[in-house]
Amino acid sequence: MTKFPNDFIWGTATSSYQIEGAATKHGKGPSIWDAFSSIPGKTHNGETGEIACDHFHKYKEDIQLMKNMGVKAYRFSIAWARVMPTGKDRINEAGIQFYSDLIDELIKADIVPWVTLYHWDLPLALQMEHDGWLGASMPNYFAAYADLCFERFGDRVKHWITLNEPWVVSILGYGQGVFAPGRVSTSEPYMAAHQLLLAHAKAVHVYRKKYSHQKGTIGITNNCDWREPLTDSELDKEAADRALQFFLGWFADPVYKGDYPSIMKERLGDRLPKFSSEEKDMIKGTSDFFGLNHYTTMYAAHNDGTKKEQSVYGNGGISEDQHVDLSLDDNWKLTSMNWAVVPWGCKKMLAWIDERYGNPDIYITENGCAYNDELINGQVNDQERLDFYQGYLKACQEAISDGVKLKGYFAWSFMDNFEWASGYDKRFGLHYVDFKTLERTPKKSALWFGEAIKHNSADI
């Protein structure tokens, strides 16, 4: 049996808006997702996160389920508007108390909290008053919010993630308009990404300057799918690498190298915001680990500009700026999100990060799959999900054997939840949630994942 390293971190993950509910309760302010999901036609069946999984009231029950699985770490996000209803100035002590109680309950269950400060649910007031992530004042507001969280929770939280998937915020929120705040533009994604990176850096510097005595770690989580060259031609190899730089390098290069990828600067010119020399110094080195959310793989081929561009969704950056065509292999199995199941792509993704960014400590902070699960006679036989996890975890083992410093793995997600614009039909969870009764039921994959944790191996 192939084992993971003895100090390997096994966890599950969630986000605040997707599970908490209590969207207008106990002093919480509205977020951009509260507003966006209330607009007819923006989400599947008009569903919202108003109740979601009601984790706000059921967190003790949920933590017991984690403990039963043997989970060692739990990654969750704080709802900014729950602790600061307008995103600035006034503090909601009821919101602070909720997260304090949640953290205490996790520690009591011997589960290590990993806290994400921002998972897309910006306080609505900041969107209305300061133009959201397009506003120049946002990095300072985010740093002040982060300061509050470090002050109140940092005595017990030793693992922080500033931003979750700023690519999604930038492209789907400010480019395609399919996620909150729902803006459509070919220029705003680059502007929003710039402010997000500055916000991340300022929050990290607050933590390192004021809270070093807490002896924690802090980083950022980016998402990226693997891009495999469609052929062995140099043009397709360059296209695949270009796609990865527009996708992951866009956000990781400034953090690890001090600036945007050269290919982006060449292709975008003045459309890509520029960091000052002081900002480059501020951003570089602001992650103690490399957080990666990885789900799928696609083939990439060079497009000379005469062919129709692929959809921006999943392609990183703005599609027409890249000259890359994406495709799938007809033999690849697909999830209900039509994402291909390609474990070897995960291994190659980890190797690319390892080489480009100098062998950093890597944590897969999300990996998982959605299927149309059914509860039959009190059980969910989600064999496809079990096979998915086993395949991807074996790929992780192979990457570690090759020298990649993969230190942990968080399954997405702990339980079925509000899957953003897709509503409640897309089930990613290890636990089945009946959204009428809100009862939780462990799936076959949850039982297997618990055994994998117990044996520290995917070979079970």
The SS3 call for residue 177 is coil
In angstroms, rounded to a whole number, what is the distance separating the alpha carbons of residues 146 and 166?
16
pLDDT for position 9: 98
Q: Is 456 known to sit in a ligand binding site?
A: no
Which residues are within 8 A (CB) of 26 and not within 5 positions of it... i.e. 6 or more apart?
A: 56, 82, 92, 94, 95, 98
Count H helices and E strands in the chain, helices first. 17, 13
As beta bridge partners, residue 223 has: 293
In angstroms, rounded to a whole number, what is the distance separating the alpha carbons of residues 274 and 167?
18
pLDDT for position 70: 97
Where does the pLDDT of residue 152 fall: very low under 50, low under 70, confident under 90, or very high at 90 and above?
A: very high
In angstroms, rounded to a whole number, what is the distance separating the alpha carbons of residues 233 and 277?
38
Res 296 pLDDT > 70: yes
Residue type, 454: K
Distances (CA, A) of 365 to 223, 278, 295: 9, 30, 11
C-beta separation of 115 from 78 below 8 A: yes
Which of the following is catalytic: 20, 47, 279, 366? 366
Question: What's the distance, CA 83 to chain centroid?
Answer: 21
Read off the pLDDT of each residue in 265-294 and give the average, rounded to a whole number. Answer: 98
Q: Is 420 known to sit in a ligand binding site?
A: yes
Which of the following is catalytic: 20, 47, 165, 279? 165
The tokens describing 65, both together, are: 């389920």
Where does the pLDDT of residue 320 fall: very low under 50, low under 70, confident under 90, or very high at 90 and above?
A: confident
In angstroms, rounded to a whole number, what is the distance separating the alpha carbons of residues 185 and 175?
5
Residue type, 187: S
Q: Is 412 known to sit in a ligand binding site?
A: yes
Q: What pTM was estimated for this model as a whole?
A: 0.97
Q: What is the pLDDT of residues 231-279, one digit of tens each?
A: 999 999 999 999 999 999 999 999 999 999 999 999 999 999 999 999 9
165 is catalytic: yes
Buried b (16+ CB within 10 A) or exposed e, 96-122: bebbeebbebbeeeebbbbbbbbbbbb
Q: Is 80 known to sit in a ligand binding site?
A: no
Q: All domains of the chain, ordered by start, with CATH? A: 9-455 (3.20.20.80)
In angstroms, rounded to a whole number, what is the distance separating the alpha carbons of residues 91 and 84?
5
Res 136 pLDDT > 60: yes
Q: Is 363 known to sit in a ligand binding site?
A: no
Q: What is the pLDDT of residues 380-414, one digit of tens each?
A: 999 999 999 999 999 999 999 999 999 999 999 99
Residue 58: count of CB within 10 angstroms of its CB: 18
Res 314 pLDDT > 70: no
Q: Is 18 known to sit in a ligand binding site?
A: yes
The SS3 call for residue 42 is coil
| Strand boundaries in 183-256, DSSP class E | 217-223, 226-229
Q: 304, 351, 168: which is closest to 247 by C-alpha?
A: 168
366 is catalytic: yes
